[in-house]
Amino acid sequence: MEDKELLKQLASLGLPLFQTEEYLDVNKALSDTVKSKNVRLWESFPLLLVNASKRNEFSYREVARMLENNFYGQLFKDLVFVSLAFYKYLHLKFGWASNLFSQSVFSNSDKETFNSFLECFEKNQDVVVFERRLNLERMKNVFNNYFEKDDVSVNDLRVRRDNLSLEYAMSQLFTSKQKELFLKKFRGEKMNKTEREYFSRVVKKKVLALANSELHHLANATVRDSK
């Protein structure tokens, strides 16, 4: 639902589609986001959840209580695991996120769901939640643009933003398998015969093109001119 009241609430959770100074019930805002059936808002859930948790008012059990319907309750759980997997994929650590795993509401099968989402992210793939595809690149972009950075050091923030930008850039040039082999070569890790042959035949050509200084100069000039 394109609920203006919901969007105003979400502005206080770091998604400034509307501005508001009104009191924010973070648990209701998250439950309404789950029920919105809006894929773009679901893709923003990692951002909304981390900002809600910073307020020390987020309660997993309270949101679950608001979502009495089994469908929405399970959907909320899946979006939480999508978020936790997304943080791990970006190498971000939050104390409240670690504490969620210790709650008895999560079963072994729930943790398998988390692992399946993480595996998708590590392969640079989208995730599917209740037959709706959540786009990884849009998730990264909204998180990178709106993540509240007040409690992050300047150096940490620069490193995290650089890592996110690098992940995005590599995803535009390499398939997940090509990126894996590129990083293996960079780290000096061993490759089997098939991997070596594929790297030499396909990946190396892209790497050589990227290393060309004239191409690098032309690309920078083109980006500047397009702004």
Share of the chain above pLDDT 70, in %: 74
Asked whether residue 135 falls in the same domain as residue 43, the answer is yes
Nearest alpha-carbon partner for 14 in 45, 35, 37: 45
Residues 90 and 182 in one domain: no
pLDDT at residue 67 in the model: 92
Same domain, yes or no, for 85 and 48? yes
DSSP string, 25-41: -HHHHHHHHHHT--HHH
- Least trusted range by pLDDT, from 2-16, 30-44, 96-110: 2-16
Q: 111: which 2 tokens?
A: 């943790």
Banded model confidence at residue 22, pLDDT cuts 50, 70, 90:
low
Q: Of the candidates 131, 146, 161, which is a domain's last residue?
A: 146
Q: Is residue 151 part of a domain?
A: no
DSSP string, 157-218: HHHHHHHHHHHHHHHHH--HHHHHHHHHHHHT----HHHHHHIIIIIHHHHHHHH-HHHHHH
Q: Are residues 29 and 72 both part of a single domain?
A: yes
Sign of CA pseudo-dihedral 52, 54, 58, 60? positive
Which position has the higher pLDDT, 214 or 198?
198
Average pLDDT over residues 24-36: 91
Mean pLDDT in the chain? 80
Number of Cβ within a 10 Å radius of residue 174: 19
Domain match, 106 and 184 both: no
Retrieve residue 29's tokens. 């805002």
| Lowest mean per-residue pLDDT among 66-70, 81-85, 108-112, 221-225 | 221-225
In a domain, 154, yes or no: no
Top pLDDT among 167 and 92 is at 92
Q: Residue 58 above 70 pLDDT?
A: yes
Residue pair 25/16 in contact (Cβ under 8 Å)? The answer is: no
pLDDT at 211: 79
| Residue-wise DSSP of 90-158 | TT---HHHHHHHTSTT--HHHHHHHHHHHHHHHTT--EEETTEEEPHHHHHHHHHHH---TTS-HHHHH
Q: What is the pTM of this model?
A: 0.60
Q: Which of 64-73, 78-87, 90-99, 132-141 has the lowest mean pLDDT?
A: 90-99
Q: From the CB of residue 81, how many other CB atoms can be counted at a distance below 10 Å?
A: 23
Q: What are phi and psi of 133, to 5 degrees?
A: -85, 125
Report the alpha-carbon distance of residue 119 to residue 89 in Å, rounded: 9
Cβ-contact 29, 37 below 8 angstroms: no
Short-list 112, 117, 155, CA closest to 139? 117
Question: Which has more confidence, 9 or 154?
Answer: 9
Answer whether residue 154 shows pLDDT above 70: no
Across the range 25-33, mean pLDDT stands at 92
Could you give the CA distance from residue 126 to residue 82 in angstroms, rounded to a whole number? 11
Return the amino acid letter for 191: M
**pLDDT (0 to 100) of residue 226:** 56
**Structural domain harbouring 139:** 4-146
The tally of domains found in the chain comes to: 2
Contact 87/46 with Cβ under 8 angstroms? yes
Residue 171: pLDDT over 70: yes
In a domain, 156, yes or no: no
- The pLDDT of residue 164 is 61
> Could you tell me if 180 and 85 lie in one domain?
no
Indicate whether 43 pLDDT > 90. Answer: yes
**Residue 60: what residue type?**
Y
Judged by DSSP in three states, 127 sits in: strand
Same domain, 16 and 127: yes
Under the banding of pLDDT at 50, 70 and 90, the label for residue 12 is: low
| 154 or 213: which leads in pLDDT | 213
Number of Cβ within 10 Å of residue 28's Cβ equals 14
